[in-house]
Amino acid sequence: MHKFGVINLYIGVILTFIGLILGFYELLTSEETMNDIGWLAAVPAGVLFMFLGTSVTLLSAPPKKDQPNLDDM
């Protein structure tokens, strides 16, 4: 699960970055086409992927060696 979270985090960062860059580029350079809305719509999806990746990564982190395992008690 930890690896799944890290992959989702990277996908979210890439999707948000690409959506912002291409969305604003299309918004400023295109003439009344709806391509810019499509690229800008990728930004909230990227943020959701980042949130999912962060949550899964933090919740599935392996226990540290110096902390006792609660299953052994």
Q: Express each pLDDT in 10-58 by its tens digit.
A: 999 999 999 999 888 888 887 766 767 888 889 999 999 999 999 998 8
Whose CA is closest to 1, among 57, 65, 52, 47? 57
Q: Which sequence spans correspond to the domains of the chain?
A: 2-60
pTM above threshold 0.85: no
